[in-house]
Amino acid sequence: MDLDYHALAPELVVAATILVVLGLDVVLPRPRKYWTAFAGVLGLALAAVPLLTLAFGDGPETRSMLGGAYVVDGFALVLKAVFIVGGYLVLLMSVSFIESDRYYQGEYYLLMLTSILGSLVMASSRDLITLFVGLELVTGPLFLLAGWRKGDAKSNEASLKFFILGVLSTAILLYGMSFLYGLTGSVTFEGIREAAPDLLDSGAFRLAVLFTLVGFGFKVTAVPFHFWAPDTYEGAPTPVTAYLSVGSKAAGFVGLLLLCYKALPSVTEIWGPALWVLAALSMTLGNLTALRQDNVVRMLAYSSIAQGGFILVPFAAAAVSSDAAVIQEAASATIVYVIIYAFMNLGAFGVVIAGARRTGSTMIDDWAGMWRYAPRLAVLGAMFFFSLAGIPPLAGWYAKFAMFLSILRPGNAWTTALAVIAAVNAVIALVYYARIGKTMWMDHVPEGADRSAVATRPLTGSLALALGISALFVVVAGILPFEFAGVFADLAKVVTTGI
> How confident is the model at residue 6, as a pLDDT?
86
Has this prediction a pTM greater than 0.95? Answer: no
How confident is the model at residue 323, as a pLDDT?
75
From the list 138, 132, 134, the residue with the least C-alpha distance to 87 is 138
- Residue 126: φ, ψ to 5°: -135, 20
From first to last of the 499 residues of the chain, give the pLDDT tens digit: 577 888 899 999 999 999 999 998 888 887 787 788 889 999 999 999 998 888 776 555 788 888 888 988 888 888 999 999 999 999 998 887 776 665 667 788 899 999 999 999 999 999 999 999 999 999 989 988 888 877 777 888 888 888 888 888 889 999 999 999 999 999 999 899 999 888 888 889 999 999 999 989 988 889 888 888 888 888 888 888 999 888 889 999 999 999 998 888 888 888 989 999 999 999 999 999 999 999 999 999 999 999 999 999 999 888 887 777 788 888 888 998 999 999 999 999 999 998 888 888 888 888 888 888 888 999 999 999 999 999 999 999 999 999 999 998 887 888 899 999 999 999 999 999 999 999 998 888 766 555 554 444 566 788 899 999 999 999 998 888 877 766 666 665 666 654 4
Q: What separation in angstroms does the CA of 224 have from each of 284, 306, 460?
A: 11, 12, 39
User: Domain limits of the chain?
Assistant: 267-499
C-alpha–C-alpha distance, residues 396 and 381, integer Å: 14
The rounded distance, in Å, linking the Cα atoms of 252 and 237 is: 21
Q: How many CB atoms lie within 10 A of CB 294?
A: 12
Sequence-ordered list of residues with C-beta below 8 angstroms from that of 19, at least 6 positions apart, any chain: none
**pLDDT for res 344:** 94
Cis omega before residue 230 (within 30°)? Answer: no
Give SS3 for 51. Answer: helix
The beta strands (E) that lie in 66-135 are given as 70-72
User: What pLDDT score was predicted for residue 456?
Assistant: 42
Structural contact between residues 213 and 271, judged by C-beta atoms closer than 8 angstroms = yes
| Contact of 45 with 16, CB cutoff 8 Å | no
Residue 456 buriedness (CB in 10 A; 0-12 / 13-18 / 19+): exposed
Per DSSP, the three-state class of 264 is coil
**Which residue, 290, 307, 286, is CA-closest to 298?**
290
Given a contact cutoff of 8 angstroms between Cβ atoms, the answer to whether 118 and 134 are in contact is yes
